[in-house]
Structure 1
Amino acid sequence: MPFLSDVAFTEPGLVQGHVLLDSQPERHWHVGLFVNGRLMGAMTAGLPDESGDHGFRFSLNPAALQGDDLLRIEVLNAGHVIVEQTFLNLRGRAIPAPRAAGAIHHQHGLMISGTVENGVTDLPSYEILAMEGDRIVGRCRVTRWEHVGNPQDPLGRAAAFDLHLDPGLADGRMHRLHVETSTGLVLEGSPVDMVAWPNRLRTGLIAAGSGGTAAHARRVDMMLDRLMGLGMPLAAYAALYPELECIPAMAPEGRIGTDGAWFRLGGTGWVLCCHETVQPVPGFAARLARALPEMPGARAVFCDLALRQTDGGIWPLLMPAFDTERLLEQGHAALCFALPETALTAAPSLVTLLLDHLAPEGGLPAAADLWHLPHPGGLADESALAESRAPRARALEAALTRPGRLPEGSRIIATPTRAGALFPALHLRRPVHDRTISVIVPTRNQGALLHAAVTGLIAANPGFDLDVIVVDNGSDEAESLEVLNRLEDGGARILEFGEGFNFSLINNLACEHARHAQLCFMNNDVAFPWPGVLEELCSRLADPAVGAAGPLMLRASDIIQHGGVVLGPWHGAAHAFEDRMLGDPGYGELLCAASEPAALTGAFLLTRRALFEDLGGFDTTRFAVNFNDVDYCLRLRQAGYRIVLSPQARIRHYESVSRGREKGSPAGARLQRELACLRAIWRDAILNDPQYHPLFAPDALPYRALALEHRAPAPRPAGRWHPAALPRWA
């Protein structure tokens, strides 16, 4: 038969071509790839479309082929050979790979993720569409960033998207979806075949896990681990709370200072205190009444806030159970909260009333007997809230400067005002009395990186007495050995550790040699383009209630690498805001003020030596390489200390340059084992951490999506973990 066909090898390992029969242009042809006479793959060639694409593609592994291996591609059962050449000759016909509009990288449940337009500096304005046949089953804007390529590449950025699909597709059946931009460009990887299971299957597994033997329950848990529940866009918040669409105006029972009002919550004896821009949600009174028996001794109950945006949509402001540092710099929790009616006193402002109630003797509020009811208590108009930001900032500063509230010598530093900001962004600087720090730096080779990290730290932080301890883990490159000698000549101490790579053990042993009361754990692949990191972090650690402090970390592309550690996503631990650029305010403007995440990374972590030693240091057995920093921070929190991330302190972190990534390597098995240990030990925190809202989806990046069903609607105590339901994971 007179076929029209062609084929070419596209680097690095893609053979693509087309096949067409003029007399039967609508017929699908099956194409097979043979290597040395053995069939290695087969596929159906696509039909012609408007772009002229009617082809096939085969992926090869060039490293597994020899130059004289014979490759043959033919139309199966038709006798037409499209090409038959040696691998070397066929590769010589390589053509440049066509530049796709973007690519799909991940599909899980009801979400498709991918990237578009590498190297851009602004997010594109078009939409991403998913279509099943002629029906649109999902659409989204391109709203986030992703670092691609070399960790040290300043242009290694790509615009990225998370496309949420119609929940009706969660029917356990296979669906073929075509994904393209609203301008008509098809994304690489489209069409994508997806299958999603309804949440009722997860509910059935939870029921199956109750009762029976422990072994049976563990098997059910492992299945449940793979069914994390489905997500939906943040903009779908009103679907969970329909009452938000139409809230009747309510007259307050009384006023609070110049900017607040209070409303009785039925016959509970409690009142809802709201900023003048916030309307109470009628259903909150009933929710509080049902929850009060579960909150014995509660002094205050915090809630969430719904925002009505300028386009009429409802956006969620989901809050942590309690965050002292964020309250001091943003006043976030003072917009809407509940108190016993007997706690109402005369106060100049709403935030002053709250601080005086939580800490009547002065100082900072403690988390004891504070609760969070994870449901909306109020609705605010976004534009009105933005207009009230400046007077709220003045009220917050006045509340903090009242005698006895902050330590003597504390300063409140003015910060630039971002247009349209909803929250104040004060910068609190406590006096620093200890400027001596022992800095522990594990390293292996990568001498240039190590030298830049150590000398950069010293240059960017004048006035500090730094006891630098470099632990060499078997460097064998001449350049690196020379760098170690130069650092030693400059005053650093060089220790040797040759017993394999155990990050926890390396740091624990180095701690025994530390001379100072403050410890800084530092990776060798960090840089310090911004000065004053240690001044800022020591200011945070100056509060005796703070156990560890860390900076905002950025990649070479200015995409954030670490904005705190969040517990819950993918039933594990994840860096927050890895999808945001420097200057982005973050969800709830978390990147504009200091806050208290679940944990911090050990790539640059400041803590007290006495605390580190009292808690036994890093766990060298369960977390030799991964999650040792998370485990340490969680033990600090369990002991009653706060963990603080300050975006006012910034460094660069070229993640995984020195050690490489573990995924797909033999060390990947260790990563999975250590993840299993994290889940077993800190199960309750992972399932419902007080610092992360249980309505965020567990199958998405932090702060990026809502769970289709509320994961933990019960009240949550601040500062400690509530018992969690399944899974057990152990």
Structure 2
Amino acid sequence: MTTPMPPQLGDSAINAKGHTLRGAITRVSGPVIEGWVYDEATPEQRFVIALYHLGEPVALAYSNHFHDHAPGDGLYGFHIVLDDAQRDMAGTLTLAPANAPNVALDQTHLPALSQAHESESGRVEWQPGLVLRGQLVEPSAPQKPLQVRVMYQGRQIAEATPQHWLDYHDQRVQGAFVLNLPLWLADGQRHRLYVLDDQGRELDGSPVTVQEWPNGLVDWVLTLAPQLPDHTKTLLKQQLSRYERWLPRAAGMGQYPQWHEAFYSKPAMKGAHALPALQRGKQDSALGILWLDNAPSTLPKMPGVTLVHRVVDHATQQDPDRYRAVVEELAGQCEIITQLHGDDTLDTAAAQLAWQAMKAQYEAQILYTDFDIPAEQADQPRQPALLPAWDPERQWAQDLLGGGLCLVRSSLLKDAEHPATHPEDFSHAAIEALHHAGHPESSVLHLPRIARHRATPWPTASEAQAQRLQARLERTAPNATLRVNPQYPTLYRVSRTLDTWPDITLIVPTRDALALLKRCIETIAEHTDYPGNVTLMVVNNHSRQPDTLAYFETLRTQAPQPLGRGKLHTRVLDYPHPFNYAAINNAAVEQCESELIALVNNDIEALHPEWLCAMAAHLMRDGVGAVGAKLLWPNGMVQHGGVIGGQYGGLAGHVGNHWHAEDAGYLGMNHVTQRFSMVTAACLLMRKADYHAVGGLSARDFAVNFNDVDLCLKLRRRGLSILWTPEARLIHAESATRGKDEAPEKAARAQREMAKLRERWSNALLHDPAYNPNLALDVYTPPFTGLALPPRELSHTAGETSTEHELGRIARSNQLPV
């Protein structure tokens, strides 16, 4: 079906007095039609306008309403609601002055009621960025799959299939969609888009007017005001940057080639983002490159850097002594060395930046970059691998350093007690040497630039490499075992155990909700094998139901029972004060006698025996402050896969809500123990001593929400890391007891807590080391599914001009900004 498209907005006509009129129909949504009419010669005049159908007037309106897109002061808009008889007329509607039907200002196509979706069955929404969000359901057959199409000037420019779940008339259907628009729409111009289903029916909210700028509002506004004084430009830049911080924009992952070309390849697009050259003398040493299998047909060149190339053939790679000798020879000739595959392509601009960062940061010993890989299907664009800041835990599961460009100071490799004996072991040998030499974690830097275009995907795991990694792991963690992940053979899995298992108290607050509480306690008793003492402390906050109170008496008198290889003890603590989640847990911790405490919601269900052992074994390592679990909705979707800062307007949000428990997730992260800045307190394990050291949960500032975010960031400020592990899997029916914050008093409290979180931690949340600054933060794009528009590292802070300062800012270590 071909959808008639309206003429360009703002068509002109001459009225009876000879004045030039402009007008536009800007929105048709169901029976609502909106637009504006303006005479630039007589801006004080407001017009009575008419909509004509087949030459006959259909409706009249006075153009004196405020309209966002109207010229002048905006008070030239009109708003018309058609009645059923008028709305049932399919065809073209013409906008004209009421007394001049032949003066056509604009037109739009009005489909019949049967050719348009009502809001409930099909609607589309847009916020700044190149992402549309909405829902589309066939009213007569809600389970029927539909397609969403976006039309522009008579041609289709994007499509999507609704794949996210929603409730439609008491049915759970895959009717929600997130649709990514092409990057070329971000040209600073207005584009009117029609959003239809695959039968040509228009969605409510269509047409959508999109206007985006390639480098954001800052660059656009400054180009409009070149004559402004420098101090005014600086102030304007700061204000606009702050605005864009709270309203970030996104492009889809499918737009990666165009996105990379726009922001990192074209000099004209980089403009002020280009870095000044380092002083001569700081970049005159050599960079050695080990080329695996073969060298590229054209060797890369980097201005001001001497490149020394060595080819490592297949036979040398398989001979540990020969491979080690080549590495040592090159390390003796060059200050920094790296390793690439001969079929890969090196992005020399990003490589130059990586070299400069290593030279500017004298304490840096290792630097790694992002990369991209071919798509699984040949006709699909390449996919970016946008990595977190340095994460030694995740390095065991997948070689973060070796995926992209990894620069290593030769001194590390020359002095290595256990050098690399195989190409797959190159970065792991460098890390072990780093620790042996006593360098801190901050000496490993991550540069969020794609410097390597891989010819093949990230290398898969192998049994031979697993044995090499196991030998390295045993030297620092003798109670750990590394194996190829049986479910995901591209990954490794590290299992840890303890010689002595500490006592743990599970703190479970509740107010009645007996069915949930019993399910929680029964599944923990049934599906937990912990070789130590576990106390389950139920905290009663104003329960009143007789059945609940009777159950509490049963728990109080219950004798210890087996918990796999250990013992389960039960306690009931009364908290007869107003509900304050933070205060409830703080009071409970004061009554705990165990070394470890776990904050556990009453809507948690244990799923497998190893969950508590896995969390405890991770926690009892030096430098770990808290461990969170992989939580699932009852339907098997991920409810908590870690927490990312910056989500929802600079706050924080869960990872993985659009993944199934068995999905790989972005770069396999759904099955990798890794660092996050935060995890949820719905199931969180930590030392009681650390809980006290940071003041516990903040009962004054975060009585209900974000107290876990605040807690984790306080732990990180003390130098402790936060781990999330998929080795502990539990069900969590979020807010099943307390409900959502929809009542006025709850909403007001939630707003206060959001404001306090931004006030206290905004810098840390917006610069989360676990989340690459090239990834999107807008509210419509789930974490790890979109690209930041523009990348956050390109939003410079005014006044930062020195190369060393700039490189230090861009090369990110795992430090917590405060």
**TM-score, normalization by structure 1:** 0.76
Letter in 2 for 1:600: V
Distance of 1:650 and 1:118 partners within structure 2 = 36
Q: 2:164 aligns with which of 123, 145, 148?
A: 145
1:559–1:580: 8 Å Cα contact kept in structure 2? yes
1:339 is matched with 408
| Equivalences for residues 518-529 of structure 1 within 5 A | 518-529=596-607
Distance of 1:179 and 1:209 partners within structure 2 = 43
Q: 1:162 aligns with which of 154, 162, 178?
A: 178
2:629–2:727: 8 Å Cα contact kept in structure 1? yes
Q: 2:453 aligns with which of 379, 385, 407?
A: 379
Distance of 2:240 and 2:791 partners within structure 1 = 21
Q: 2:338 aligns with which of 272, 283, 290?
A: 272
* 1:211 shift after superposition: 6.8
Q: Is 1:389 aligned to 2:456, yes or no?
A: no
Distance of 1:682 and 1:612 partners within structure 2 = 19
1:249–1:279: 8 Å Cα contact kept in structure 2? no
Distance of 1:143 and 1:401 partners within structure 2 = 47
Q: 1:497 aligns with which of 575, 584, 589?
A: 575
Deviation readout 1:298-352 (Å, 9 max, x if unpaired):
0100110111223362210001111111101122322331112343455222453
Q: 1:44 aligns with which of 70, 79, 82?
A: 82
Q: Is 1:710 aligned to 2:791, yes or no?
A: yes
> Which blocks of at least 5 consecutive residues in structure 2 are unaligned?
1-29, 33-52, 62-78, 92-116, 267-295, 301-308, 559-568, 795-808
* 1:634 shift after superposition: 1.5
2:396 is matched with 328
Q: 1:232 aligns with which of 234, 251, 255?
A: 251
Distance of 1:249 and 1:376 partners within structure 2 = 20
| Equivalences for residues 90-109 of structure 1 within 5 A | 102-104=122-124, 107-109=127-129
Distance of 1:483 and 1:149 partners within structure 2 = 38
Distance of 2:702 and 2:242 partners within structure 1 = 21
1:313 is matched with 381
Q: How many residues align?
A: 642
2:9 is matched with none
Percent identity between matched residues is 25
Distance of 2:389 and 2:358 partners within structure 1 = 16
1:115–1:161: 8 Å Cα contact kept in structure 2? yes
2:680 is matched with 601
Q: Secondary structure at the match of 1:651?
A: strand
1:129 is matched with 149
Q: Secondary structure at the match of 1:492?
A: strand
> Which blocks of at least 5 consecutive residues in structure 1 are unaligned?
1-15, 32-40, 55-96, 724-730
Distance of 2:143 and 2:492 partners within structure 1 = 26
1:288–1:373: 8 Å Cα contact kept in structure 2? yes
Q: Secondary structure at the match of 1:645?
A: strand
Change (3 A) 1:363 1:285: closer
1:79 is matched with none
Change (3 A) 1:425 1:43: farther
Letter in 1 for 2:181: L
Q: Secondary structure at the match of 2:442?
A: coil
Q: Is 1:721 aligned to 2:816, yes or no?
A: yes
Change (3 A) 1:99 1:177: closer
**TM-score, normalization by structure 2:** 0.69
Q: Is 1:683 aligned to 2:762, yes or no?
A: yes
Letter in 1 for 2:539: V
* 1:294 shift after superposition: 4.1
Distance of 1:108 and 1:175 partners within structure 2 = 13
Change (3 A) 1:718 1:706: same
* 1:670 shift after superposition: 2.2
2:608 is matched with 530
Distance of 1:581 and 1:108 partners within structure 2 = 29
Change (3 A) 1:385 1:166: closer
Q: 2:542 aligns with which of 458, 467, 474?
A: 474
Q: Is 1:584 aligned to 2:663, yes or no?
A: yes
2:603–2:737: 8 Å Cα contact kept in structure 1? yes
* 1:193 shift after superposition: 5.6
Q: Which has the higher contact order (CA 8 A, sep 6+)?
A: 1
1:512 is matched with 590
1:400–1:406: 8 Å Cα contact kept in structure 2? no
Change (3 A) 1:457 1:250: farther
2:482–2:492: 8 Å Cα contact kept in structure 1? no
* 1:249 shift after superposition: 5.4
Letter in 2 for 1:370: V
1:181 is matched with 197
Distance of 1:405 and 1:312 partners within structure 2 = 43
2:187–2:214: 8 Å Cα contact kept in structure 1? yes
Q: Secondary structure at the match of 1:521?
A: strand
Change (3 A) 1:371 1:332: closer
* 1:354 shift after superposition: 2.3
* 1:102 shift after superposition: 4.7
Change (3 A) 1:105 1:128: same
1:433 is matched with 500
1:283 is matched with 349
Change (3 A) 1:581 1:166: same
Deviation readout 1:525-567 (Å, 9 max, x if unpaired):
1112333210211121132222111111111222211100011
Deviation readout 1:189-214 (Å, 9 max, x if unpaired):
544566657754345789999979x9
2:502–2:595: 8 Å Cα contact kept in structure 1? no
* 1:233 shift after superposition: 1.4
Change (3 A) 1:132 1:236: closer
Distance of 1:575 and 1:157 partners within structure 2 = 22
2:48 is matched with none
Change (3 A) 1:445 1:30: farther
Change (3 A) 1:264 1:677: farther
Change (3 A) 1:428 1:167: same
Deviation readout 1:152-205 (Å, 9 max, x if unpaired):
x9x846354322234565688876533233454544554456665775434578
Q: Secondary structure at the match of 2:587?
A: helix
Deviation readout 1:427-467 (Å, 9 max, x if unpaired):
43333632521011111221110111122112211344221
Distance of 2:173 and 2:476 partners within structure 1 = 41
1:75 is matched with none
1:525–1:655: 8 Å Cα contact kept in structure 2? yes
Deviation readout 1:4-47 (Å, 9 max, x if unpaired):
xxxxxxxxxxxx999xxxx969864589xxxxxxxxx9613589
Q: Secondary structure at the match of 1:580?
A: coil
Distance of 1:178 and 1:424 partners within structure 2 = 43
Q: 1:487 aligns with which of 534, 555, 559?
A: 555
Q: Secondary structure at the match of 2:258?
A: helix
* 1:686 shift after superposition: 1.9
Q: Secondary structure at the match of 1:721?
A: coil
1:351–1:399: 8 Å Cα contact kept in structure 2? no
2:143–2:173: 8 Å Cα contact kept in structure 1? no
Change (3 A) 1:198 1:236: closer
Letter in 2 for 1:180: L
Change (3 A) 1:264 1:374: farther
Letter in 1 for 2:508: V
Q: 1:558 aligns with which of 620, 623, 636?
A: 636
1:654 is matched with 733
Change (3 A) 1:347 1:115: same
Q: Is 1:295 aligned to 2:333, yes or no?
A: no
Distance of 1:364 and 1:202 partners within structure 2 = 43
Change (3 A) 1:219 1:108: closer
| Equivalences for residues 353-368 of structure 1 within 5 A | 353-360=426-433, 367-368=441-442
